[in-house]
Amino acid sequence: MSLQAVVLSLLDGITDPSVRSDIATTIYFLRDVFLSGKIKPDELKSELVDIVSTVVDITHPDLLPDEKKKKVDMIVDQLYRAIRMSTLKMRMMGKYRISPVE
């Protein structure tokens, strides 16, 4: 699933456009910071857990702690994989110092 699809799925239960925008912008910011190499994968996952946990608290307040943890872990895993896929080309180009072809 693409990063955009995962983010939209996460935002499904939130109706306030400004809150939706803030959450999406934060996730894309984390993607960009990860791409720049300023945070490590574990730091990225930790930040994503904080964001997703907050969103799940708001959108699914009735979940039991075990259910919430499963849901948060599943969404964080989806986001992390989508971010890795969306940054794959740039990370490889940076790793091997190849400039993009225009």
DSSP track, 27-93 = HHHHHHHHHHTSS-HHHHHHHHHHHHHHHHHHH-TT--HHHHHHHHHHHHHHHHHHHHHHHHHHHHH
State yes or no: pLDDT of 50 exceeds 70. yes
Max intra-chain CA distance, the chain: 51
pTM score, whole prediction: 0.85
Integer-rounded Cα radius of gyration of the chain: 15
pLDDT at 100: 57
pLDDT at 54: 96
